[in-house]
Amino acid sequence: MRNSRIIGAGMFVPPKVVTNDDLSKLMDTSDEWIVERSGIKERRYAEDGVGVSDLAVEASKKALAQAGLEPKDIDLIIFATLSPDYYFPGSGVLLQHKLGCRDIAAIDIRQQCSGFIYGLSIADQYIKTGQSERVLVVGAEIHSCGLDFSTRGRDVTVLFGDGAGVVILAPGEAGKGILSTHLHSDGGHFDKLWTPAPMACRHPRLSHEILDQGLHYPIMDGKFIFKMAIGKFAEIVEDALRANGYTLEDLDLFIPHQANLRISNMVGKKLGLPDEKVFNNIQKYGNTTAGSIPIAISEALEQGKIKEGSLVCLASFGSGLTWASALIRW
C-alpha cells in the first residue's frame, strides 16, 4: 500500500483586518482583555457576498502553483467547513466549478475544528487505495457573518476570524508523507460548543423568538472546552508518535489547531516542547476553525519551519466534541 504526501499548500485570508480595538467599539471589551484570554491581536473578515468557496479558490490556486499542477489534474475535492456558502448544496461543488476542475467528486465534511485533519485522513485513504492520484483538501471558514457583535456574544465573537487553507495530496515514497491519522469524537458534550438554532428537527426552524434569544449565534462553555482541549491535545500527539515508534524528542514541529494561544502554550509545556517547536499564528488570524491548520502549514513552509525530512504533528480539538492528530514526515 502506497503512502500519500503533501505536494502543495496554499492559504488565503481576506484583506480586511479587524483589530481588538475595532471590536471594543461594538461591545464591552478591550485589546488587553482579549489578548490576556486568547493571545489574539487581530483577525480577518470577508466582505459581504464572499463565501468560503471564494476563499478556497484563492488558496487552491496557490497550492496548485506550488505543486506545479493545473485544476484538471485534481481528481477529488474534500471540503471541510462549518460555514458553507449555502445550507445546500455543499461548498465542494462550488469550488469544483469556480476552480475549473473536471467533473470530479466533491466531498463536504463537518467536523468543525477537527475538519481539516478528518479531511486529510479521508484523502490519505483514497491515495493509499489507489482510487485517487491528486486530492485537494480544503479547510475554510467565514465566521464574521454569523457572530453576535454585542457584549452578550463577546466571549465567542472575539475569538473567530475568516480564512482558508488548502493542501494537495499525491502518492509518495514509503516512510515519508502521512504516517498515520488518529480521529476521535464524543457527542455526549455536543452542547459545550454549538449553535442551537436553526434546528432541522424543530418547527419552525427559525422564528422571531429564536432570533430575539440569540440562539442562532454560537455558544461555548469556555472553561470546559479549555480544560478538555489541553488534555486531549497532549494525548493525541503522544498517540501519534507512539503509533509510529517516535518520541517527543524526535518531533521537529507541532502545529495545533489555532483555538487559543494559552491552550497552545500550555499543551507545549505539558509535552515538554520548546517554544520554537510549537507553531502559532492565532495572533494574526484568530480561530479560523477548519482553516487554521492548513493556513499554519502554508505559513510554516513559507517561513522555513518545515523542511525536507521534518517530522511534523498536527492536532486539533473542538466542537462535536472531536479531536484528531496526524503525523507527517515531510
Q: Could you say which DSSP state residue 46 is in?
A: P
113 is catalytic: yes
* 164-189: burial string, b at 16+ Cβ within 10 Å, e else: bbbbbbbbbeeeebbbebbbbeeeeb
CA neighbours within 13 Å on the CB side: how many for 56? 35
280 is catalytic: no
Q: DSSP labels for 105-165?
A: EEEEE--GGGHHHHHHHHHHHHHHTTS-S-EEEEEEE--GGGS--SGGGHHHHTTB--EEE
Cell 518520541 belongs to which residue? Answer: 247
Spatial neighbors of 209 by CB under 8 A, at least 6 apart, are: none
Q: Is 168 helix (H, G, I), strand (E, B) or coil?
A: strand
Q: DSSP labels for 215-249?
A: TTS-EE-HHHHHHHHHHHHHHHHHHHHHHTT--GG
Grid cell listed for 20: 481588538
As to burial, measured by CB atoms within 10 angstroms (0-12 exposed, 13-18 middle, 19+ buried), residue 75 is middle
Q: Pick the catalytic residue: 3, 101, 287, 313?
A: 287
Task: Report the alpha-carbon distance of residue 113 to residue 120 in Å, rounded.
Answer: 13
Alpha helices in the chain (DSSP H): 20-24, 31-38, 52-67, 91-99, 115-128, 154-157, 208-213, 222-243, 261-271, 282-285, 292-302
313 is catalytic: no
Q: Pick the catalytic residue: 20, 257, 260, 313?
A: 257
| Strand 76-80 to 105-109 pairing | parallel
| Other residues' Cβ atoms within 10 Å of the Cβ of residue 49 | 7
Task: Report the alpha-carbon distance of residue 189 to residue 185 in Å, rounded.
Answer: 10
Q: Pick the catalytic residue: 20, 113, 281, 313?
A: 113
Amino acid present at 41: K
Active site residues: 113, 257, 287
